[in-house]
Amino acid sequence: MLVDHYGIERQWQQALRPAVARIMVLDDLADRVHDCDLLLDQNEADQPQTRYDGLVPAHCQRLLGPHFAVLRPEFAAARATLTARDGQVRCVFVFIGGADPGNETGRVLQALAALGQPGLQIDLVIGAANPHHAALAAQCAAMPGARLHRQVDNIAQLMAGADLAIGAGGGAMWERCCVGLPSIALAVADNQQAGCAAMARRGRVLYLGQSAALAPGVLPAAVQLASASPWLLQHLAAASLALVDGRGAERVVRRMAALQLAGGLQLRRALTDDCERLWEWRNAEPVRRFSGDSAPIPLAQHRQWFAAALADPDRLLLIGEIDGQAAGVLRYDRRHRQATVSVYLTPAFLGQGIGASLIAAGSDCAARHWPQLEVIEAQVRPQNVASAAVFETAGFAKEFDIYTQRIKA
């Protein structure tokens, strides 16, 4: 079940638990507690990994940031045929939202008309529900080069062909990023302000604040600044392209499928009979490639290590199984109130996206095994980008090259 509603929180989700296998929540406010297995917040935010601490269960996987922006396929298709932007402003794309009841679109048009640039092309997009259609059509008719598009199905192409955008925050911001369109951003809703501000602080948009509170001369001045700063627009284009690649929906679907696959995941303590199987898995080339020590381990040495590991009260060795088949191995080494985790998947489950579920389940198990445990750390090699992403999805936050999950405050 997917839940996308600002008025729904844990109590409602808990009531539906018996009726569904998994619950996924879409949120961007981080202002209420959820009972969910997967959370998607595709917005840019300061300290994203800690925003939902205490608001979701420990096992919940968090898909955070524009890397997971869910866009229609047309944006990835438009991105694939882009030509490099030269920073010149010949065409301005304007889209403030489909309905726009406050007619912020009309005020943007007035600001562009005040520039007095007759050679400027303007592509103005509105939705079928916009109540100001007739007035906007009249405004465009009085402005040479202005074209009004109503309820279009080629918005990605219009964005890709423009040189500068004036638009609202929210989902349209990620669409503009996907095609590398430099943007002047306006917040037309309260929930857009934080995301726009975070984007501006990272040098990815020119953010002017709340549209309704904008002083009359601010937007024309911003357009003039952008027009006179080709290097600035080229920077914004590159920063946008690097942030959103149009494959976020694919990543979300893979996480959902992996979570479904991991529905039968169970963890158990390693047993004496598991010794040689762990040796075979650990020596598999894909596992050794990203291990702290990539050299093959002799069987005699492994047997000695394995026996010591099972006998050590400060070491927890777990095997994850899905439908009775071994899927991965977790090792926890405790020191006082802190533990370090090491994890690898068995060859049969590599590439199936179950790593985050395995790690989240392991954290729960370690916390139960050592009730005084406060922090779990994972050391990830800088070049192992995939492993870093898996730990972040499992709720770990990066501190230098160490990923940490706080179990207790």
pLDDT 10s digits, 334-382: 999 999 999 999 988 988 888 988 998 899 899 999 999 999 999 887 7
Q: One-letter amino acid identity for 187?
A: A
| pLDDT at residue 295, as a whole number | 80
Q: Three-state SS for 34?
A: coil
Ranges 133-137, 249-253, 320-324, most confident = 133-137
Specify the pLDDT at position 176: 97
Ranges 6-20, 183-197, 290-304: which has the least confidence: 290-304
Q: Please list, in sequence order, all residues whose beta carbon lies within 8 angstroms of the beta carbon of residue 409, skipping any fewer than 6 positions away.
A: none
Q: pLDDT value at position 119?
A: 87
Give the HSE-up count for residue 159: Cα atoms under 13 Å, Cβ half-sphere.
Answer: 28
Q: Which residues pair with 41 in a beta bridge?
A: 64
Among candidate residues 372, 371, 346, 362, the one with its CA nearest the CA of residue 396: 362
* Among 205, 125, 139, CA closest to 170: 205
pLDDT score, position 264: 79
Mean pLDDT of 316-323: 94
CA–CA dist 321, 357 (Å, integer): 12
Mean pLDDT of the 378-401 span: 81
Per-residue pLDDT at 174 exceeds 90: yes
Q: Is residue 268's pLDDT more than 80?
A: yes
**Confidence (pLDDT) at 293:** 65
* Residues counted in the chain: 409
Written as six digits, the tokens of 50 are: 């800690």
Predicted pLDDT of residue 408: 75
Average pLDDT estimate for 226-233: 96
Where is pLDDT greater, at 40 or 61? 40
Task: Write down the pLDDT at residue 49.
Answer: 78
Q: Is the pLDDT of residue 400 over 80?
A: no
More confident residue, 402 or 54: 54
Burial class (CB in 10 A: 0-12, 13-18, 19+), 31: exposed
pLDDT attached to residue 404: 77
Residues 346, 275: Cα–Cα separation, whole Å: 14
Would the pTM of this model clear 0.85, i.e. be above it?
A: no
Q: Count Cα atoms within 13 angstroms, Cβ side, for 302.
A: 16
- Name which residue leads in pLDDT, 326 or 380: 326
On the question of pLDDT at 259 being above 90, the answer is no
The per-residue pLDDT for 290 is 64
Per residue in 90-131, pLDDT tens? Answer: 999 999 987 888 899 999 999 999 888 878 999 999 999 999
Distance CA 130, CA 136 (A): 10
Instruction: Please state, in angstroms and as integers, the Cα–Cα distance from residue 336 to each residue in 133, 282, 363, following that order.
Output: 66, 27, 16
